[in-house]
Structure 1
Amino acid sequence: MAASGRLNKELAEVGKDDKTSGVKAVAVTPGNLRELKGTILGPEGTCYEGGVFEIDITIPKQYPFEPPKMKFTTKIWHPNISSQTGAICLDILKDQWSPALTIKTALLSLQALMCSPEPGDPQDAEVAKMYLSDRKKFDSTAKFWTESYAQPVNEDDAITRVCEMGFDRDSAKAALEKHGWDESAAVNQLLGGL
């Protein structure tokens, strides 16, 4: 019971829109504090600037004595984050976790990692190799991935584009929400339903 009280308090803190810190986490389903969706705004002055990165967060039963399980769902080009699976190599999400840390501090640590990659302890060896051998190419690739995969979705524009294909607004919105605002997946669902 104490753990759920702490989680409620943490989510009240990290669930607010906070442009200063650039991190946020909310429950995926209201009332389920174990499955969260985190977002990190790409840090200014980095190749991730302007991006919005989503992170799946699973809170284990032993929390806060065990770290939250986190992985990027937004594709990102970074030595310490798998370009394939979104798995993260960060000590506080493994053996350096402390019950004094919170979901917000973990997200802030991920944001700091985006500013200062550690290619000597990579999650993605290919990305780390590029970071060390051709920094200019790394920066342009990371920026390209940010522009391709981490742009915030304008929900009204997405609904309008799907409606222009002949679908009603409510159906378009429902399909887009179901598919994480992926327009082609939403249209495929709507076409399959005809």
Structure 2
Amino acid sequence: MVDFARVQKELQECNRDFEVSGIRVVPNGEANLAHLLGTIPGPLGTPYEGGTFKIDITLPDGYPFEPPKMRFATKVWHPNISSQSGAICLDILKDQWSPALTLKTALLSVQALLSAPEPDDPQDAVVAQQYLRDYQTFVGTARYWTEAFAMISSLGVEEKVQKLVEMGFPEALVRSTLESVGGDENLALEKLCST
């Protein structure tokens, strides 16, 4: 059974220094502490700089003795992250997990992975090949994906609502969906298309 008292403490710890770390974890949807949404900023000096990446977190019944299941909800171009499913290849999310680790340390490790790809142990072979064979094209593609999927649109709320309503979605649903994803137009569109 998930230790929800510990999860509450971890959420407070993550969100306490958000201004410094840029890392946040909140319940995803209703107040279900077994399904969370984390956000990490793209590391400075990388093609991910300026992006805000959303990570879907599911806590297994054995948490904290089993690792959290994490995957990128934001599309990202990286050798150790699936460009299709968002699956993350990182040892502490598998066999190197320890109950001494927290959601914040796991998210910090994911953020560090963005800075230091390991193309020899890829999750996405196509991206890894590009990284090894044509690094400049890799950087350009990663930067483009960051701008397209991880940067909050500069459009105001009303413009976003108008744009999504023009796609045929009801205005009330558009407004509540945008609110539930923190104004992220791309995530709102994904959510609207999946309902």
**TM norm structure 1:** 0.84
Cα contact 1:40–1:54 (8 A) shared by 2: yes
Cα separation, partners in 2 of 1:132 and 1:7, compared to 1, 3 Å: same
The 4+ residue runs of structure 1 with deviation greater than 3 A are 160-172, 175-189
**TM norm structure 2:** 0.84
| 2:161 aligned residue (155, 159, 162) | 159
Q: Within the alignment, does 1:120 sit opposite 2:128 as a pair?
A: no
**Identity level (%):** 53
Structure whose CA Rg is larger? 1
Q: Deviations over 1:68-120 (max 9, x none)?
A: 00001111000000011100000000000000000000000000000000111
For 1:146 and 1:129, how far apart are their aligned partners in 2?
19
Cα separation, partners in 2 of 1:166 and 1:147, compared to 1, 3 Å: closer
Code of the aligned partner of 1:140: G
Q: Deviations over 1:2-36 (max 9, x none)?
A: 81110110011223471321211100134310000
For 1:155 and 1:102, how far apart are their aligned partners in 2?
35
Q: Structure 1: 5+ residue runs without aligned partners?
A: 190-194
Aligned to 1:10: 10
Shift of 1:151: 1.4
SS of residue matched to 1:146: helix
After TM superposition, the structure 1 = structure 2 runs for residues 119-158 of structure 1, keeping only pairs within 5 Å, are 119-153=119-153, 156=157, 157-158=159-160
Cα separation, partners in 2 of 1:127 and 1:174, compared to 1, 3 Å: same
For 2:55 and 2:7, how far apart are their aligned partners in 1?
17
Aligned to 2:175: 173
Aligned to 2:68: 68
Shift of 1:162: 4.8
Compare 147-156 and 137-146 and name the one that shifted more. 147-156
Q: Structure 2: 5+ residue runs without aligned partners?
A: none
SS of residue matched to 1:39: strand
